[in-house]
Amino acid sequence: MNERSSVGELAKSLRRELNRYPEGGKLPSSRALVERFRVSPVTVSRALAQLAAEGLVVTRPGAGAFRSGPRAAAAPAGDTSWQEVALSADGATDAAPRTVDASGVLSTLAAPPSGVIEFNSGYLHASLQPERALAGALARAGRRPGAWGRPPTDGLPELREWFARGIGGAVTAAEVLVTAGGQSALTTALRALAPPGAPVLVESPTYPGLLAIARAAGLRPVPVPVDADGVRPELLERAFAATGARLFVCQPLFQNPTGAVLSGPRRCEVLRVVRAAGAFLVEDDYVRRLAHDDAGPLPRPLAADDPDGHVVHVGSLTKVTSPSLRIGCVTARGPVLERLRAIQVVDSFFVSRPLQEATLELVGSTGWSRYLRSVAHELTARRTAMAAGLQGGLPELALAHVPSGGYHLWLRLPDGCDEAAFVQAALRAGVAVAAGRPYFAAEPPAGHVRVSYAGVAGAGEIAEGLRRLRASTG
């Protein structure tokens, strides 16, 4: 049983037993609960915290946990129907609707029911995350002089320098802003680079979170098809000419969801097209540190080959570490940097200094490179196992490309297969997959699903998940 399900089961057991204790009565000690339920102290602590959040118990440091008194009666529900009119009227004159569908993002963030295998996760399984290294880094960071003071609004100079070195070329620390993760950086970039109502060119298919950001900002996503070598430059050029767009967002390395890498000749062509259009290119370099053992030398970021400031680079450490290490960067050259800086300051002031200090401790440690190699090795094995299992046991799910980086595979469903019904049948069989529809800005050419091998415990769970998937299609 994993930690999350253990916490849930213990909380459920304690919830059933609360009536045994009078109001204000003390629950058994944490040590007694550990021995009785044969769980870890961490599980006990989290279960009690869950009950405290529900208002059922009160925890007092050094004293223990106590049953809460009666809850106050809930206030009667108000009538919020007026909002339907107000929100509709608010968008009546918008050049583009601002209705946001976050389902594609939430499907990779929400924990599935207990016992369901996560083939839809967007993050590394806990067994792959550097939890000890993160804990040590955070502890050391918290003891640094000034660690809890106000940081520079642009981010700690040492962390900006580290990000700049990772991009390469002539990029300097002065052109880097530290952000609260990649999603925050993308949001800032799109708000800075295009006014509401403007078209924004996006890859098709593409990351649902990007589509949600664009629509929330009142932009009009215009899809440009991707194949095994990345976005097609001739179609990108036509899209710029047809729409008058001044912004293109792409993932040149291990694109989400296809896993494509923008080929060498296309890199030059894409940059030429963007320059000719007098446009910006937002480079979402979200997974550079999740290359596999067989990836070979990686192409450097597009920003490293852009002296004229057309490329705005977005990077993040979240995917390769932990969902809670919300540290990323946005890098730009020229006057646009000031606009990016102003938007970020208005939105969030600055990124937590202890988190920045902990990040410096982590990436500066002797074990950082060793950790990256171990993750690459493990993801390679998982990808190989999942690809082989799909090709051998589920050949009707077309796998056109096996990427050498990232954490997922992109599958085309058979013609005539109902995508929503497929996803629901898989869930009933005990495996969660990500539906393909949210990855398209317009009508998809066929049904698809994305399956991830990063959020599972290992090869055994991959095999079991594929077995369940076969059963759901039988």
Calpha distance 447→412 (Å, rounded): 6
User: What are the tokens at 273?
Assistant: 């097209």
Residues 411 and 331 in one domain: no
* Structure confidence by residue, pLDDT tens digits, 233-270: 999 999 999 999 999 999 999 999 999 999 999 999 99
Share of the chain above pLDDT 90, in %: 70
pTM of the model: 0.82
Report the chain's mean pLDDT, rounded to a whole number. 90
CATH number of the domain within which 45 lies: 1.10.10.10
Residues 140 and 116 in one domain: no
Instruction: Classify residue 278: in a domain, yes or no.
Output: yes
Q: Which residues constitute the domain of residue 17? A: 3-67
Residues 120 and 214 in one domain: no
Instruction: Classify residue 445: in a domain, yes or no.
Output: yes
Residues 124 and 242 in one domain: no
* Structure confidence by residue, pLDDT tens digits, 31-79: 889 998 888 888 888 888 888 888 888 888 778 888 887 766 656 767 7
Instruction: Classify residue 97: in a domain, yes or no.
Output: no
Residues 322 and 443 in one domain: no
Per-residue confidence band for 24, with pLDDT thresholds at 50, 70 and 90: confident
Q: Residue 194: which residues within 8 A CB-CB, separation 6 or more?
A: 200, 217, 219, 246, 247
Residues 120 and 146 in one domain: no
Instruction: Classify residue 91: in a domain, yes or no.
Output: no
Instruction: Classify residue 392: in a domain, yes or no.
Output: yes
User: What are the tokens at 41?
Assistant: 């102290």
Which pLDDT score, from 0 to 100, does residue 348 have? 86
Q: How far is CA 239 from CA 71, 127, 134, 199, in A?
A: 59, 43, 44, 10
Calpha distance 377→382 (Å, rounded): 9
CATH number of the domain within which 441 lies: 3.90.1150.10
Residues 156 and 177 in one domain: yes
Residues 401 and 259 in one domain: no
CATH number of the domain within which 246 lies: 3.40.640.10
Of 319, 340, 363, which residue sits at a domain end?
363
Residues 304 and 278 in one domain: yes
Of 331, 363, 395, which residue sits at a domain end?
363
Calpha distance 229→209 (Å, rounded): 22
Q: Is 425:112 a contact under the CB 8 Å cutoff?
A: no
Give the number of domains in the chain. 3
Residues 465 and 440 in one domain: yes
Instruction: Classify residue 291: in a domain, yes or no.
Output: yes
Residues 146 and 264 in one domain: yes
Of 344, 363, 382, which residue sits at a domain end?
363
Which pLDDT score, from 0 to 100, does residue 7 have? 85
Residues 256 and 404 in one domain: no
Confidence check: pLDDT of 3 > 80: no
